[in-house]
Structure 1
Amino acid sequence: MRKIVFLCLLSVLVFNCGSKKKAASVKTKKERVVRNQNTRSATSSTQPKTNNTAPTTTPNTTSSSSSPTVAYINLYHAVAMEEMKLYGIPASITLAQGILESGSGKGRLSVEANNHFGIKCHDWTGAKIYHDDDRSQECFRKYNDAKYSFRDHSLFLKERKRYYKLFELDPDDYRGWARELRAAGYATDRRYPEKLIDLIERYQLHQYDDQVLGNPASRNRIRTVTSTNVPASVDNFGNTYTVQKGDTLYSISKKHNLTVEQLRKMNGLKNNDLQIGQVLSVK
């Protein structure tokens, strides 16, 4: 009997110990779970939040593209300055004529024939291109490189007697040169001088004359022309308008209270075709 009682008490004791161990084990597991959760929570609160969008490390270098006229000046001002050194023709005049005659390098003759001054064949024995001008399919000179067009322009003025008065003018008198070109018969457009002068003053082309002549006041001011230091399309006096992308004769005429026919007559236009960078008289 005693043995039976002893075994019962021993069984109860063993069962109680096992229950305590299980309870302790469960408690310990719960504590570990809680500690792990607290640890993860603390860790996540100290880490920076991840942004799905990568940070921008490269500055935005996109800028508005330069106008065709600005690009033309930057490309050819050195050539015009070299021609001035050799032949005495103001670089400002050469550049302004090139811009006007070639539509800032976008006209057919300049694109297909590197002819920036509309020089016709005359006694030319080189390559030719045919283009509608005063008459249908006239013969124009074609060059391998635009620089030869600039050289031919210099020779054209220098070697023809009717232009001799040009070389009696001061090389920095671009206004006098512009007017004498018209008087000598270079162009039939009565506003040709004003168009050249407007271009020279709007884009400060006279700075290249100053650089060649070594004028002290402007020796250090020569710089690359940018679209930020020239007006967008209209000169200071409102006398001319530079054709922009999307312009038509109708839209330009409306801006300046003109009819399309008036605009064509003022600029000697035979049709409604326009070139970006083309300078039109609007007064």
Structure 2
Amino acid sequence: MIKKIILYCCVSFFISCGSNKAVVRTSRSVVSPSKPVARTIRKPVVKPVTKPIVVKVLDTKPVVVGDNKDISTEILEATTRVKVTTAMVLEYIEKYKEIAKKDMIEYGIPASITLGQGILESGAGTGPLSVQANNHFGIKCHKEWTGPSVKYDDDEAQECFRKYDNPNDSYRDHSLFLTTRERYSSLFKLDKNDYKGWAKGLKNAGYATDIAYPTKLIGLVERYQLQKYDAEVLGVDYVPTKIINTIDTTKMVGLSDADLHQVIKGDTLYSISKRYNISIEELKKKNNILDSGISIGQKIIVK
């Protein structure tokens, strides 16, 4: 009997120990949910908050592009050739036509020639020299120049070009440049409305080294009807020039941009023919061009 009592006590002891272990396991299971709580605290996404930094960078770009100094530097480093549209040329003419007419009255240089040279030499005010130095006529320093200057690659590397405070000074200096040099004196014996004679005379007197300079200048004068400003100064009736070297726009119907080339400063029929592997004669035929004259902004069929 005593043995049964002892056995009963031992069994009861072990049972009670087993129930205590179960309680311990239960208490631990209550603590385990704390782990998800920790993960929830870390969960807020930080990345979306930092992403607007990208937007800020994009927003600053127009400010950089709009800064004139940055534009001039970028153009100088990027290219020496400029691409202009007809609208840009017309805007340029509107801006400087009165200066050209005033200088015609004072110095005797046809306004059409002054404007034509300004467009050609400055790329309608977008070329590197006009942007950086307000030099709209490509006038080099020469030995008598004592004003500010800039270095620029032209016929030779790092040549000296005159720098002006504003474009108006460039226009005035252009007039003085032509009127104070003996080699240009023969030009002033021509009629004031003889823009063709002036264009050829400028080349013959050494103003430009480009053999096509007169053709380009005449093409600009006629394409944009610059002679009308000569007529206004002279007080005579203006008869619009019939432009021969222009393509019939009906020929462009169905053509893509790849079929056309828009003339930029420095382009010649020869350079365009080499670029698109087409003969000069074929270019002339496709575009109704009778001579070698092409104008900035003109669209030419190349395929």
TM-score by length of 1: 0.58
Deviation at 1:119, TM superposition (A): 0.8
Residue type of the partner of 1:141?
Answer: R
Q: Distance in 1 between matches of 2:245 and 2:216?
A: 10
Q: How many Å apart are 1:84 and its aligned residue? A: 0.3
In 1, distance between residues paired with 2:275 and 2:89? 22
Alignment root-mean-square deviation, CA: 3.5
Cα displacement (A) at 1:241? 6.0
**What is the identity, as a one-letter code, of the residue corresponding to 2:200?**
R
What SS class does the counterpart of residue 193 from structure 2 fall into? coil
Q: Which residue of 2 aligns with 1:167?
A: 188
Q: TM-score, normalised by structure 2?
A: 0.54
- The verdict on how the C-alpha distance between 1:119 and 1:280 changes in structure 2, with shifts beyond 3 A counting, is farther
User: Could you tell me which residue of structure 1 aligns to residue 170 of structure 2?
Assistant: 149
1:121-136 aligned at under 5 Å gives the runs: 121-122=141-142, 123-136=144-157
Report the residue type matching 2:225 in the other structure.
Q
In structure 2, the residue matched to 1:193 is 214
Shift of 1:235: 3.9
Gaps of 5+ in 2: 1-84, 249-260, 266-270, 281-291
Compared with structure 1, are the counterparts of its residues 169 and 128 closer, same or farther at alpha carbon in structure 2 (3 Å cutoff)?
same
Give me the whole-angstrom Cα distance separating, in 1, the residues matched to 2:274 and 2:105: 39
Distance in structure 2 (CA, Å) of the matches to 1:131 and 1:172: 34
SS at the partner of 2:196?
helix
Matched, 1:179 2:200: yes
Q: CA deviation at 1:129?
A: 0.9
Contact 1:235/1:241, CA 8 A, preserved across alignment:
no
Separation in structure 2 between the aligned mates of residue 116 and residue 84 of structure 1, nearest angstrom: 17
2:246 is the counterpart of 1:236? yes
Q: How does 1:212-223 map to 2 (within 5 A)?
A: 212-215=233-236, 217-218=237-238
Which runs of no fewer than 5 residues in structure 1 stay unpaired?
1-64, 223-229, 259-266, 268-275
TM-aligned CA distance change 1:280 to 1:188, over 3 Å: farther
| Identity among equivalent pairs (%) | 50
Contact 2:152 2:158 in 1 (8 A): yes
Alpha-carbon distance change, 156 to 252 in structure 1, aligned in 2, over 3 angstroms: same
CA contact (8 A) 1:67 1:277 kept: no
Q: Which residue does 2:140 correspond to in 1? A: 120
1:108 counterpart (114, 119, 128): 128
Question: Equivalent of 1:80, from 100, 123, 131?
Answer: 100
Report the CA distance between 1:80 and its aligned residue: 0.6
Q: Point out 4+ residue stretches in structure 1 off by more than 2 angstroms.
A: 234-238, 240-244, 249-258, 276-282
